[in-house]
Structure 1
Amino acid sequence: MMKNGHHVSSAPASADCSPEKRRRTVRVWCDGCYDMVHYGHSNQLRQAKAMGDYLIVGVHTDEEISKHKGPPVFTQAERYKMVRAIKWVDEIVEGAPYVTTLETLDKYCCDFCVHGDDITLTVDGKDTYDEVKKSGRYRECKRTQGVSTTDLVGRMLLMTKAHHSNMGRSDYQQHTDNFGRGPKGHSPWTGVSQFLQTSQKIIQFASGKEPQPGDTIIYVAGAFDLFHIGHVDFLDAVSQLSEKPYVIVGLHFDQEVNRYKGKNYPIMNIHERTLSVLACRYVSEVVIGAPYAVTKDLLDHFKVDLVCHGKTEVFPDRDGSDPYAVPRKMGILRTVDSGNSLTTDVIVQRIIKNRLLFEARNQKKEAKEMAVIQAMKRREEDKAKERAQAVL
């Protein structure tokens, strides 16, 4: 079955590990917590897939994450489903070990593993990729600047409507100090930096595929803020309405989202939400800054066959009118029940409820990272001294 230009296998490819298969296909391994999956995770997996032909992603259990990092925001079942929905992923391994070993790579016939240019540490401060690095079966990809789970948690707890454009303000900086800065300094891997969108990034994430004859063009619209498993289940359900779906997602601008959602929404700005949605295998195209009302012009322009909305509340337009009046009158509006009641509001409540736990988790993580950085710095200084003495 083809979805967004990627083949979705019904049988795990790791079942066949013949030498012939290994010669034909470069198999790549990635692993992680993938908690609060965001476009930074997706970009890592995109880069990993580009290094080979077949990407297997190992996802850790709740128990393993709690042991080494602290409590995850999402359950393992939710995290498994989120990773499966990323279009560059060919297969996932549930309950992958927290420490990546040669045994794991061999078990799944992977040539090497890929990780970002940050560091992942065990509960006792050891590099989880140490063994595969020493064996030469490790590749590195660039970490996506401007986003981290730490940062997203901070945004949810900062009650200002324009948090995504006020990162330099003192109240925001004070808040990030609690989430991305430990008592012994600042780790470059757990801090907060501003995301800068580029056209190249959009091109890298977009499928680039036009609708084909026989495709059913389906239009959905919304904020799709903090792109989560509720969104994934909805888009999956929408894509199953046709044998050949071409799903277009209309994303509302930040000001529009704030108008009907209020509070500190959206958590992610329009550029971040664009990449998050484009990474989903059920999505074919994204309209950036779609009009709130689904107009006749929009439907004609994209040759839309079907307009879908979930079971969530539909807020009226600025003039009090129904934003779905046109497709409703045309008889092409469909209400889709995804069977998932998770919303962005529910996620925010999870974070607020466990605020102290998440603060402690992030400070603990940063303290371990700073210890490693200091050790690396001391090693470099020692090597420099040895080189200087050798010259003398």
Structure 2
Amino acid sequence: MFILSSREFRRTEGISTTELLTRILKRLTKLEGSTSVTGPFEKPNLRRTRSVDFTPGTEFVLQSSKELLTQKQSYEPTTSRLESDSESSSSPNHVGWTNCGMSYMPNTLRITQFCNGEYGLREPTADDTVVYVPGTFDLFHIGHLSFLEKCLEFGNYLVVGLYSDATAALESQRMGVILTLQERLLSVLACRYVSNVVIDAPHEVPASLLDHFKVNYVVVGQDTKLPFSCDGRDPMKIPKQRGIFRRVDSGSSVTTTSVITRILKHRVDYEQRNRSKEAKEAKLIASLKSNATCLGLSLKN
């Protein structure tokens, strides 16, 4: 006789797949409407920011997008929330039906609920081999997971340096992050391989950070681009001088860019899916409002 058991995982309020798809599609629509990368996507002065995520590939995404739109002659831009919303609606803080009228509010309780990794969040001991891994980790996927697992070949204590939203979004010709820093933090903390996270990590790895965490290795992906800062400084200069800089092949072909490109190839289908789902959720919330309750909470306009 077999006894089947199941485990239920509650959703994090304000974060849903439909919401993330909406953010991606709106970002693509915005970029397609620009003949050049300007405004918030203009190349920044790196000295004004603490950290930068250098992830190439936006040119390919935009080119593919235009080709797909040309091929789909019957496609007409949606007049739903995707285009009719104001500029602020593309912000990760936008509140839509798919969030059940709520947005994610960073708080210590929610953060601690994500801190239950296999290796545990703790101080490193004298016996630990510390590995520092800087990055953005947007739309946390199997490629990130495989990479972090590979990093454990260098040690047993993994410190992730999580880049800020502003510096990642301001990178030249990049879409910018889809998830906010606080949202990305939850994804990284939930990874069982991670022992600690440096929030808003500096682009240039300083000696003070290496000394504070007693870092034995600094590891990046095999294909990770590490351009010099605007004043010609190598962000990995100090790790290289100490002989602790390493590159690792995750063995996975999945990247954040490839995930977005995959969504782009099925863009029309996703937009139709979102409209249908939003209509159903709007109807449900309207019904709940009539009873003045949503999951035990009062609903407000």
What range is the shorter-chain TM-score in?
Answer: 0.5 to 0.7
Q: 1:268, 1:189 → 2: CA distance?
A: 16
Instruction: Please list the CA deviations of residues 153-189 of structure 1 after superposition, one character each: whole Å capped at 9, or x if unmatched.
Output: 11112236769xxx9961454999xxx98xxxxxx55
Q: 2:217, 2:90 → 1: CA distance?
A: 47
- Aligned-partner SS, 2:215: coil
- State how 1:186-335 maps to structure 2 within 5 Å: 189=98, 193-206=102-115, 207-242=120-155, 245-260=156-171, 262-311=173-222, 312-335=224-247
**Gapped regions of structure 1 (runs ≥ 5):** 1-16, 18-105, 117-142, 182-187, 381-392
**Gapped regions of structure 2 (runs ≥ 5):** 31-38, 42-81, 292-301
Q: 1:229, 1:203 → 2: CA distance?
A: 23
1:338 paired with 2:250, answer yes
- State how 1:1-392 maps to structure 2 within 5 Å: 107-108=3-4, 110=5, 113-114=7-8, 116=10, 143-159=11-27, 170-171=86-87, 173=89, 189=98, 193-206=102-115, 207-242=120-155, 245-260=156-171, 262-311=173-222, 312-368=224-280
Q: 2:144, 2:122 → 1: CA distance?
A: 22
- Contact 1:248 1:285 (C-alpha < 8 Å) held by counterparts: yes
- Aligned-partner SS, 1:309: strand
Deviation (angstroms), 1:251:
0.9
Q: 1:191, 1:157 → 2: CA distance?
A: 20
Instruction: State TM-score, norm by structure 1.
Output: 0.52
- Contact 1:294 1:324 (C-alpha < 8 Å) held by counterparts: yes
1:132 maps to none
Instruction: State TM-score, norm by structure 2.
Output: 0.67
Amino acid at match of 1:152: L
Higher deviation after alignment, 258-267 or 369-378 = 369-378
- Contact 2:121 2:194 (C-alpha < 8 Å) held by counterparts: no
Which protein, 1 or 2, shows the higher relative CO under an 8 Å CA cutoff with sep ≥ 6? Answer: 2
- Contact 1:215 1:246 (C-alpha < 8 Å) held by counterparts: yes
Instruction: Please list the CA deviations of residues 323-351 of structure 1 after superposition, one character each: whole Å capped at 9, or x if unmatched.
Output: 00111111111111111232211111111
Deviation (angstroms), 1:272:
0.9
- Aligned-partner SS, 1:250: strand
- Contact 2:26 2:90 (C-alpha < 8 Å) held by counterparts: no
Amino acid at match of 2:108: S
User: Percent of aligned pairs with the same residue?
Assistant: 40
- Bigger radius of gyration, 1 or 2? 1
1:10 maps to none
Distance 1:300 1:344, change over 3 A: same
* Count of residues paired in the alignment: 234
Q: 2:134, 2:157 → 1: CA distance?
A: 14
Instruction: Please list the CA deviations of residues 107-160 of structure 1 after superposition, one character each: whole Å capped at 9, or x if unmatched.
Output: 43x2x64354xxxxxxxxxxxxxxxxxxxxxxxxxx422211111111112236
Q: What is the RMSD computed on CA atoms of the aligned residues?
A: 3.4
- Aligned-partner SS, 2:246: strand
Q: 2:263, 2:287 → 1: CA distance?
A: 33
